[in-house]
Amino acid sequence: MGPLDLLMLTPASLLLLLANIGLSIVAFNDEALIGRLMFDVGRMRRHGEWYRMLTSGFVHGGPLHLAVNMLGLFSLGPALELGLGTGPFLLLYVGSLLAGSGWSLMEHFRDPGYRAVGASGAISGLATAFAIFAPLEMFLVFFVVPMPAFLFAIVYIALSAWAASAGRQDGVGHAAHLGGALAGVAIVCIGWPDAPRQMIETIMGALV
């Protein structure tokens, strides 16, 4: 069964892809729309527009930003949705997205000019959750370097934590990445408490 066949069996993943792609493409040519949906610390604090913590995850800063996030959703979403069920998968996706926004708000609360867009927090949560369930599956870092999923998750969390704490201004939402990634781990540990033990056993079995 190919990736497109899997996608057609997973309605949440398909709808999330369509929503992200559709809204983002419209917003590329509609500054007013992206202005209403983006993560905007100033407007959230002044006007209580907390809905932006969710809606900002459905618009992107450009075609490349959109493509990278949607490739992650396309690669990870169907497998997780089939394994967990549609409801739990949506909980994982939305929980990771909101956690990423929440961590960004915490990091930038005193910066009313901070704005961000993108589904990176949600995709980060999917990646770390996938790493727990399938730790030895290979990820292609930068589409070139192969790395086991569990090692990728460790490196990703560590680098995101370092970049967020260092306050790097490189146009990447490191705080959202960190919050989403940690949420993915937390949601799996709460919802599937045997999964971390099974992950460790799988890794240890491969090393023996």
Residue 73 in tokens: 């959703």
Is 120 among the residues known to form the active site?
Answer: yes
CATH of the domain at 178: 1.20.1540.10
Give the confidence band of 176 by pLDDT, cuts at 50, 70, 90.
very high
As to burial, measured by CB atoms within 10 angstroms (0-12 exposed, 13-18 middle, 19+ buried), residue 122 is buried
> Which pLDDT value is given to residue 168?
64
The structural domain count of the chain equals 1
In this prediction the pTM is 0.93
Cα–Cα distance, 127 to 149 (Å, whole number): 8
Active-site annotation holder among 60, 65, 108, 177: 177
Is 108 among the residues known to form the active site?
Answer: no
**Domain range for 184:** 3-207
Cα–Cα distance, 161 to 90 (Å, whole number): 25
Q: Are 187 and 92 in contact (CB under 8 A)?
A: yes
Active-site annotation holder among 120, 124, 160, 174: 120
The mean pLDDT value of the chain amounts to 93
Give the confidence band of 118 by pLDDT, cuts at 50, 70, 90.
very high
Q: What is the pLDDT of residues 180-199, one digit of tens each?
A: 999 999 999 999 999 999 99
